[in-house]
Structure formats: C-alpha cells, structure tokens
Amino acid sequence: MEAKPKFDLAVCYRIYPGVSRDPIFGFKEKLLLARLNLETFREGLGDLKIKLWVLLDNCPPAYAGLFKEIFPNTPMELIPLGGEGNGATFIRQVEILSKQTDADLVYFAEDDYLYLPRSLERTVNFMRRHPGIDFVTPYYHADFDSKYVHQIRGKEVVEDNCRWRMVTSTCLTFMARRNALAESSVVFKTYNHNSDLAIWMALTKRRVCNPWSWIRSAKDGLFFTASHAMAWRFAWRQILFGRRRTLWSPSPALITHMENSGLAPGVDWENFFGARAQALIQNK
C-alpha cells in the first residue's frame, strides 16, 4: 500500500534581492517587501501542513534569516544559488516539486505576491473538492477581462464566496497536482526559451489551434501573437498529442502581484495591506 503523503502541500519558493520597477505601496528595499510577502504567505497557509524548499538566488544571508524567523517550525530546505536567473530557478522548481513525494499538491511561489488570510488553504480545499482539476492559480489577472486569448466561455463553479472558472493561462505562481506537473514537466521546462502564456496555451489547448486568435491577438500586443507561435515552436508535441490540462482561477482573487501594473482587480488591496506596509517602511 502506498504511504500517505506527510504534508498537505509541498512549496518551492524562489526569491532574489532585486525590486520590480513599480512595486505596490512604494517599496524601495526588497528585504522589506519580502517580509510583507512572507508574512502574508504564512497567513495564507492557514492550518496547512507544508514542506518548504527555498531557492535563494544571489541573496545575502539576511534572506535566509527571514525565512527561519517567519517559518521556525516548518520543515525547510534552504538552497543558495549564485544568480541563476528567472528561467533557471523556475526549472529548478519544476524539478523539485515533480520529484518530491511529501505531498500530492504542490505550489510554485514567487517573492512578489500578497496573500489574503487562508488563501492557500482555500485553494487546496478547492482542489480537493474537484479532483479532476490539474492546476489552479489563486491569482486573477486583469488580462482575463481585457485580452482576446482569455475571452472564452468555460466551466464555472461558485463556492467558498468565489466564482471559480477555467482560464487559458496564468503567471508562474500556481498550484498543481504532482502527477499533472510531472507529466507536463517537459513543457514547463521550455520556459528558458518560451513565454509563460505560450506554455499555458499549449497545456490548456485554449486558443492555440485557432488561426483567428493569432490575428485578433495582434491588437493586444506583439507578446500575445508571438506566444501563439512560441507555443507551436516549443510545445507542438503537447498541442498535438498531449493531454489537455485544466487551469482554474477564482474571482475575486485570493492573492495579488505586488507590481502596481499587476494588481488583481476587484479587491481593495490598499485597505487590506496599506497600513501594514507603511508601518514596515517607516519602522525599518
């Protein structure tokens, strides 16, 4: 008999010391931004039991200390890296989470998101209630309401005060079933040359086989048209022969990107986190 997984969720978290161009609440120092991110991440876990891997890409010692402070009792592996960059660290996440056997559900975490309380616990519960779903993002991207590739009617479920619906793509912060991740790892590992949109389009097979989508997406910008081409160039086997994967997202969002241009719509993030952020900045 196969042993029961030890944890509710396996998390691989990647962090580097740079600050995005226009971070929420005017953060100038990455360590302060990372503290707010990690504190809300911990609160988002609720009562989940997790195993944590941390990819510290070119990070000073204070970053490892921050994880030890905020997660003192969490089984954790700190992995220092020498500046491998975005693509390489994402592929490391794929390898770690697809090969581990501590949990059936896994989570890809980045260092620039804010989490509502119990947001990840709610996401885990959603996946447990719907065992046929492969991937879930707790983030609701503003592009879902404005870009052509996302304008597809699909399945919806209203529960837990959210409207969960099937979506075409997301960013690289998401939850997955370990077996779905392992079976899709070849596609995810094209990220060194590919775009996140192209990867998800190949996996979900939404819009990618529609010639009109290539043309119509040009109005949304070169990135969207190019992603159609990149999906075919780097993941054509998945498109033609691979299993169609499902990706879901809640509205309103349970988390948000910390870049002002990436804030999830429909939630007053300033009300939730503004005073807390300013206290961190002023008391540094």
Buried b (16+ CB within 10 A) or exposed e, 272-284: bbeeebeebeeee
Closest by alpha carbon to 41, among 71, 16, 65, 61?
71
Could you list the mean pLDDT of each consecutive 10-residue stretch along the chain, which spans 284 residues? 78 93 87 95 98 97 97 97 95 98 98 97 98 98 92 90 96 97 98 96 94 88 94 97 97 95 93 92 80
Say what the pLDDT of residue 32 is: 93
Q: What is the pLDDT of residue 61?
A: 96
Residue 156 to residue 136: CA distance in whole angstroms? 13
Write down the pLDDT at residue 210: 86
pTM of the model: 0.96
What per-residue confidence (pLDDT) applies to 52? 98
Closest CA relative to residue 92, chosen from 111, 79, 106:
79
Q: Angle, nearest 10°, between helix axes 178-188 and 196-204?
A: 120
pLDDT at site 20 = 77
What is the predicted pLDDT for the residue at 253?
97
HSE of 54 in the Cβ direction (CA atoms, 13 Å)?
A: 24
Q: Just give the CATH number of 9-282.
A: 3.90.550.10
Q: Where are the domains of the chain?
A: 9-282
Q: What is the pLDDT of residues 29-56, one digit of tens each?
A: 899 999 999 999 999 999 999 999 999 9
